[in-house]
Structure 1
Amino acid sequence: MERELADLVHGVGHRLRRGYGERLGPLGLSPGQARALRVIADAEPPLKMVQLAERLRIVPRSVTPVVDALEEAGLVRREVDPASRRSILLVITPEGRAQYTQVREARRQVAEELFSVLTSEQQDRLRELLGLVDREFG
């Protein structure tokens, strides 16, 4: 019997997350922390906590322990927003930028291994199809 599309996508996603988690272990980061670091690193200008929560699609109170851990590790720092002294901006540190480079490489390696069974043309088509679904419902 043919497996359902949702089951296949779920299974591939699970393998990606598991492989990514294994590669992040030596870096001392959880997948959630790595994702937050990526969003902070890619943000221009620096994000407020509520903006990070929105981009991560989590409730604002859930972002605090993630940022606390990144700050404790020296990867991110909180700065007062000069435009609004009551707001806090999240700024990646030089150590965070270096760690982010390793995180990106770990993510790339996991994806490369997982999708190596596909030709480059098949990978391009899969990327196109998943992008279409993500744009429509993301």
Structure 2
Amino acid sequence: MTMAQDSPEQLRDLVMSAARALRRRWFTALEPWGLSPHEYRALRAIHGGDSPRLGDVAKALRIAPRSATEVVDRLEKGGLIERIPDASDRRAMCVRLTAQGGRVITELDAARDADAAEFFADLPAGDRAALRRILEALPRP
């Protein structure tokens, strides 16, 4: 059985294919820094927070706290973040970017923006605007 053109199934497959292509490109773009997309997301969560606790990082990544600890351990070992005591609860630990981590997140953001510009470069401005409008209209988790 073939799918009708513009069927929900065909649209789903096209969106998933584009998302996979973007994800593969992002994996490749992260290689020079030796980071995974998951570690990048953790850096973004830490950068965007005010020295968040590990539990906050886990929530931002939608993973178990134990898994967040493993990600934070790798980032700390790489010198990108550091653990600091929580000012309001001495038993808890918070995390923040190191100076090196701040430089890396700036470089990564620039690389990600450049990759997106390249990925969408062949779409005329009107098509990009239509794509934005359509994607914004779709439900999100």
In the superposition, the TM-score normalised over structure 1's length comes to 0.89
Q: CA deviation at 1:16?
A: 0.7
1:128 and 1:67 map into 2 onto residues whose CA distance is 36
- Name which of 72, 85, 95 aligns with 2:100: 95
Q: What letter is aligned with 2:73?
A: D
Runs of 4+ off more than 3 Å: none
1:3-54 per-position Cα deviation (integer Å, ceiling 9, x unaligned): 61211111111111111111110111111111111111121x2211111111
SS in 1 for 2:79: coil
2:29 and 2:14 map into 1 onto residues whose CA distance is 23
Q: CA deviation at 1:122?
A: 2.4
Question: In the alignment, what sits opposite 2:28?
Answer: 22
Q: What letter is aligned with 2:85?
A: V
Question: In the alignment, what sits opposite 1:84?
Answer: 89
* Count of matched residue positions in the alignment of Structure 1 and Structure 2: 135
1:126 and 1:15 map into 2 onto residues whose CA distance is 16
Asked whether the equivalents of residues 20 and 106 of structure 1 are also in contact (C-alpha less than 8 Å), the reply is no
Aligned: 1:46 with 2:25: no
SS in 2 for 1:4: helix
1:86 and 1:125 map into 2 onto residues whose CA distance is 50
Q: How does 1:112-131 map to 2 (within 5 A)?
A: 112-131=117-136
- Higher relative contact order at CA 8 Å, sep ≥6: structure 1 or structure 2? 1
Larger radius of gyration: 2
Please tell me the root mean square deviation across aligned C-alpha atoms, in Å. Answer: 1.6
User: Greater helix percent: which structure?
Assistant: 1
1:21 and 1:75 map into 2 onto residues whose CA distance is 19
Identity %: 37
Aligned: 1:137 with 2:140: yes
Question: In the alignment, what sits opposite 1:9?
Answer: 15
2:65 and 2:93 map into 1 onto residues whose CA distance is 13
1:52 and 1:8 map into 2 onto residues whose CA distance is 32
Question: In the alignment, what sits opposite 2:61?
Answer: 56
2:132 and 2:99 map into 1 onto residues whose CA distance is 32
In the superposition, the TM-score normalised over structure 2's length comes to 0.87
SS in 1 for 2:93: strand
Q: CA deviation at 1:97?
A: 0.4
